[in-house]
Amino acid sequence: EPEVTQTPSHQVTQMGQEVILRCVPISNHLYFYWYRQILGQKVEFLVSFYNNEISEKSEIFDDQFSVERPDGSNFTLKIRSTKLEDSAMYFCASSRDRGFTDTQYFGPGTRLTVL
Amino acid sequence: GEDVEQSLFLSVREGDSSVINCTYTDSSSTYLYWYKQEPGAGLQLLTYIFSNMDMKQDQRLTVLLNKKDKHLSLRIADTQTGDSAIYFCAESNENRDDKIIFGKGTRLHILP
């Protein structure tokens, strides 16, 4: 069964450094998402992406965050200057159709630790 | 704003039924979901229900939706050790575009 994959599984970085989290969505999916889960907290929506542009973003997704689909398979989340509070599990998801009409399939997550 | 609430822990004896409950605030929810997260793994979609349905059954899983009370439950029949995980209730709304609102998750612990 096709699945969403994410790399790396765990990323450790120093505060102020840039990180890029990578995702390979399911191949025939057109809508892509990033969520994050701070330890002990809820899974929170960050951003959705369709047709090479952001379709929706939350208040968490400020100027230090960006997303990109650099080629036909990868979908990346960049954090420009990491803060301690960016430490979380980051989940990528994809769906064939809009998020409210089709189910979103999630990857295994990347645990980001900011020191 | 929209919110999803669920209890944080549930302990059940192996072989018994588990019932995980969830309440939500958005009366216009379109889809309601149950996701499972095993240790070190991602969010696995277990099942979902349209808001115009009352019940959905899928093998050992039964989802009940009480739209009036905004209450969703997941029943797992004949609970096995492999069911030990965190179960997330979630909802989406076609007027809210793409994002899914999640609860904090219920950790299901299986007693021998």
Least confident interval from A38-47, B56-65, B91-100: B91-100
Q: What is residue A113's predicted lDDT score, i.e. its pLDDT?
A: 97
A52-90: per-residue pLDDT in tens?
Answer: 999 989 999 999 999 999 887 899 999 999 999 999 999
**Contact check, Cβ <8 Å, A55/B48:** no
pLDDT at B60 over 80: yes
pLDDT at A17 over 90: yes
DSSP readout, B14-83?
Answer: TTS-EEEEEEE--TT--EEEEEEE-TT--EEEEEEEETT-SEEEETTEEEEEETTTTEEEEEESS--GGG
- Please name the residue of chain A whose CA is at the shortest distance from the CA of residue B6: A42
Q: What is residue B45's predicted lDDT score, i.e. its pLDDT?
A: 86
**Contact check, Cβ <8 Å, B42/A106:** yes
B43: pLDDT confidence band, cut at 50, 70 and 90? Answer: confident
**Contact check, Cβ <8 Å, B88/A108:** no
- 8 A C-beta contact, residue B75 and residue B83: no
Q: What is residue A101's predicted lDDT score, i.e. its pLDDT?
A: 55
A chain contacts of residue B43, beta-carbon cutoff 8 Å: 43, 91, 93, 106, 109
pLDDT at B8 over 80: yes
Q: What is the C-alpha separation between A100 and A86, in angstroms, rounded?
A: 27
Q: What is residue A75's predicted lDDT score, i.e. its pLDDT?
A: 96
pLDDT at B37 over 80: yes
Q: What is residue A2's predicted lDDT score, i.e. its pLDDT?
A: 78
- 8 A C-beta contact, residue B99 and residue B90: no
| Mean pLDDT of the A14-19 span | 97
In the β-sheet with B4-6, what is the strand arrangement from edge to edge? B4-6, B18-24, B71-76, B61-66, B55-58
pLDDT at A91 over 60: yes
